[in-house]
Amino acid sequence: MTKATLAPHAAPKAPARRQPLASRRYTLEIRQQMSMPRQALVLGLAVLAGLAISGLILVAAGVPAGELFNEFIVTTLFDLQSLQAVLFQAAPLIMIGLAASIAFRARFWNLGLEGQMIWGAIGATAVSLHEIGPPALRLPLMAIAALAGGLLWALGPALLKLRLGVNEIISTLMLNYIASNFLLHLVYGAWKDPKDSFPYSPQFRSFERLPEFFGSSGMAVLLALLAMALAWWFVQASRAGLYLRFVNASPRVADAVGVPVRAIILGTVLGSGALAGLGGFLIAAGQEGRLTQAFYQGYGFSGILIAFLARNHPVAAAVVAALVATLFVAGRNLQVFYQIPFSMVQLIQAIVVMCVAASDFFIRHRLRRVAAD
User: Least distance (Å) from other proteins to the CB of residue 219?
Assistant: 27
Q: By CB under 8 A, is residue 341 in contact with other proteins?
A: yes
Residue from the set 42, 61, 129, 319 that interacts with other proteins by CB under 8 A: 61
As a whole number of angstroms, the distance between CA 261 and CA 68 comes to: 48
Q: Which is nearer to other proteins, 101 or 171 (CB)?
A: 171
Residue from the set 149, 241, 286, 314 that interacts with other proteins by CB under 8 A: 241
Q: Which is nearer to other proteins, 217 or 349 (CB)?
A: 349
User: Least distance (Å) from other proteins to the CB of residue 24?
Assistant: 11
Candidates 146-154, 248-256, 278-286, 319-327: pick the segment binding other proteins (CB under 8 A).
248-256
Q: Which is nearer to other proteins, 25 or 84 (CB)?
A: 25
Residue from the set 22, 229, 257, 294 that interacts with other proteins by CB under 8 A: 257
Residue from the set 212, 249, 294, 337 that interacts with other proteins by CB under 8 A: 249
Over the window 195 to 234, marking each residue x when it contacts other proteins by CB under 8 A and - when it does not, the resulting string is ----------------------------------------
Candidates 30-38, 119-127, 198-206, 269-277: pick the segment binding other proteins (CB under 8 A).
30-38
Q: Which is nearer to other proteins, 226 or 358 (CB)?
A: 358
Q: Which is nearer to other proteins, 114 or 208 (CB)?
A: 114
One-letter amino acid of 146: A
CA–CA distances in Å: residue 65 to residues 60, 137, 332, 362: 9, 52, 18, 31
Q: How far is CA 251 from the centre of its chain?
A: 24
Residue from the set 37, 62, 134, 194 that interacts with other proteins by CB under 8 A: 62
Q: What is the SS3 assignment for 366?
A: strand
Count of CA atoms in the C-beta half-sphere (13 A) of 255? 4
Q: Which is nearer to other proteins, 34 or 222 (CB)?
A: 34
Q: By CB under 8 A, is residue 22 in contact with other proteins?
A: no
Q: By CB under 8 A, is residue 348 in contact with other proteins?
A: yes
CA–CA distances in Å: residue 145 to residues 15, 121, 211, 268, 312: 52, 9, 18, 19, 26
- Cβ contacts of residue 153 below 8 Å, gap of 6+? 112, 115, 116, 118, 119, 175, 179, 273, 277
Residue from the set 3, 17, 38, 366 that interacts with other proteins by CB under 8 A: 366
One-letter amino acid of 41: L
Candidates 41-49, 206-214, 240-248, 319-327: pick the segment binding other proteins (CB under 8 A).
240-248
User: Least distance (Å) from other proteins to the CB of residue 127?
Assistant: 22
Binders of other proteins among residues 123 to 182 (CB under 8 A) are 160, 164-167, 169-171, 173-175, 177-178, 181-182
Q: What angle do CA 46, 228, 277 make, to 5 degrees?
A: 100
Q: Which is nearer to other proteins, 178 or 222 (CB)?
A: 178
User: Least distance (Å) from other proteins to the CB of residue 291?
Assistant: 15
Binders of other proteins among residues 267 to 306 (CB under 8 A) are 301, 304
Phi, psi (deg, nearest 5) at residue 365: -125, 160
CA–CA distances in Å: residue 356 to residues 309, 311, 365: 7, 11, 14
Other C-beta atoms closer than 10 Å to the C-beta of 252 total 10
As a whole number of angstroms, the distance between CA 37 and CA 48 comes to: 16
As a whole number of angstroms, the distance between CA 11 and CA 39 comes to: 26
User: With CB under 8 A, what is the number of residues at the site for other proteins?
Assistant: 83
Ordered DSSP codes for 49-87: HHHHHHHHHHHHTT--HHHHHIIIIIIHHHSHHHHHHHH
Q: By CB under 8 A, is residue 21 in contact with other proteins?
A: no
